[in-house]
Structure 1
Amino acid sequence: MMNNLSFPNQDYIPIASLNQYAYCPHRCWRMFCAGEFEENEYTIEGTSLHERVHTLSDNMKDETWQIRAIWLKYERYQLIGKADLIELESGEIYPVEYKRGKRGEWDNDELQVCAQALCLEEMTGKTIDLGYIYYAHSHQRQPVEISASLRENAITTIEAVQFLFNTAIMPKPVYKPRCKGCSLYSRCLPQASQKVGGYRESD
């Protein structure tokens, strides 16, 4: 059904970059264009969670076939990434993305699930109508409907990230409540840059 890719193609866009771009375009630029990254309590917890699930394996759980840590690829939009979990049940395929946060915290997580579904559709020829986000804090799954509007949002974000990668033009930092949990907050200082009416990259 699916061919596992042993390594990511460097010319492809990482699925994770879509999540970061939807969270904050400036953060995405710093991580994927400038190569900057700093840990905080949230990133460490998230990394630990993904290290536990990113061990390639497949097994049956009740009537559900599960495969972990498989590489997904979307040739049409040059997208690639490793899925936390793919499930096959009664002929239906579901991507399951693991997150450390709590249910419904940010919509960028749904975007990442949709991107995985687009990859699966191209790889398998099957239509994916549903995916899930598993939240480690609550041990609950949130269903994600792979709707027409979510698909459109995913494609728009893919194109925006492609433009960002191709031009390397830095988006200006914009302060939002989610900035408080960002590990790169001290690098861009969005509140300070807005007060002075602009942004200038530090040396």
Structure 2
Amino acid sequence: MIYPEEDFLQLSGLQHFKFCRRQWALIYIENQWAENFRTTDGAILHENAHNGGFAESRGDLLVTRDMRIFSRTLGVSGACDVLEFRRGKTGIPLKGRQGLWQPYPVEYKRGQPKENTADALQLCGQAMCLEEMLCCEIPRGALYYGEPRRRTQVDFTPELRQEVKSLLSEMHELYRRGYTPKVKPSKPCNACSLKELCLPKLMRGRSVSAYLRGAMEDEP
């Protein structure tokens, strides 16, 4: 399937969707948002990564920042925090440079490596977009976490790629329907930046938008 540009979803939403489908829907369907320490801290961490196309060259390494990416087959668009090109035996030719250069995406994250695959899925999604744009294979990339201040390499396995496709397909269907999943309270709710908007104990059967409309109608 080929998605038209007007139907593209934000690739960054993939990690939200993996963490909580309702959180993703509140942000991207109902346009709700709230910041807590985690989102603010994450935004600060990204400031050094996103530098509007800044490029750095060190021998057999070329570093680009904030590269815009998209995929028509996945129906998403976004940006790479950092995209490295490493000269070697595989990769793509780059104008004005000798040899082949292997793309290697790097995503910056706050905190420590997660137990789930949310961050790895987002990074894999970036690689799949790049593969479609650059007509090459990208077998791995890296996640850089703020607390250990080191990279964690991620292999883009067939299983991880299939999960990216499956989740994005589900995201497109929910977005098309305009449907916000019901609350499923769990331990991660306590750390969610949308906890006060989601109201997990109250919103088991209602959308945030419906709750807000009802609250406004009840005001004198």
Q: Same fold by TM (over 0.5)?
A: yes
Out of 79, 82, 88, the residue aligned to residue 82 of structure 1 is: 79
Q: Deviations over 1:75-97 (max 9, x none)?
A: 11221001101111123211111
Counterpart of 1:59 in structure 2 is: 56
2:20 to 16, 19, 24: 24
Corresponding position of 1:168: 178
- State which of 88, 92, 95 in structure 1 corresponds to 2:105: 95
CA displacement at 1:187 relative to structure 2: 1.8
**Which residue identity does 2:72 align to in structure 1?**
E
Deviations 1:78-133 (A, max 9, x none): 21001101111123211111001202344200000010010010011111110110
Q: Which amino acid aligns with 1:46?
A: G
Q: CA deviation at 1:52?
A: 2.5
Match of 2:206 in 1: 200
- Give 2:127's aligned residue: 117
- Deviation (angstroms), 1:188: 1.9
Matches of 2:9 and 2:176, distance apart in 1: 11
SS at match of 1:77: coil
SS in 2 for 1:183: coil
TM-score (norm 1): 0.89
**Partner-residue secondary structure (3-state), 2:103:** strand
What is the RMSD computed on CA atoms of the aligned residues? Answer: 1.5
Q: Which residue of 2 aligns with 1:155?
A: 165
Identity of aligned residues (%): 28
Provide the TM-score with structure 2 as the length reference. Answer: 0.82
- AA in 1 matched with 2:33: F
Q: Which portions of structure 1, spanning 4 or more consecutive aligned residues, are displaced by more than 4 angstroms?
A: none
Q: 2: CA distance between counterparts of 1:172 and 1:77?
A: 25
Tell me, in whole angstroms, the C-alpha distance in 2 between the residues paired with 1:193 and 1:134. 37
Match of 1:6 in 2: none
Separation in 1, partners of 2:59, 2:23: 41
| Alignment coverage as a number of residue pairs | 191
* Local SS of the residue matching 2:144: strand
Query: Given the alignment, which residue of 9, 16, 36 partners 1:13?
Result: 9
Candidates 184, 189, 201, aligned match of 2:199: 189
Alpha-carbon shift at residue 15 of structure 1 (Å): 0.5
Q: Report which of the two structures shows the higher radius of gyration computed on alpha carbons.
A: 2
Name the structure 2 match of 1:49.
45
Equivalent residue number for residue 129 of structure 1: 139
Give the distance between the partners of 2:63 and 2:116, measured in 1 at CA: 26
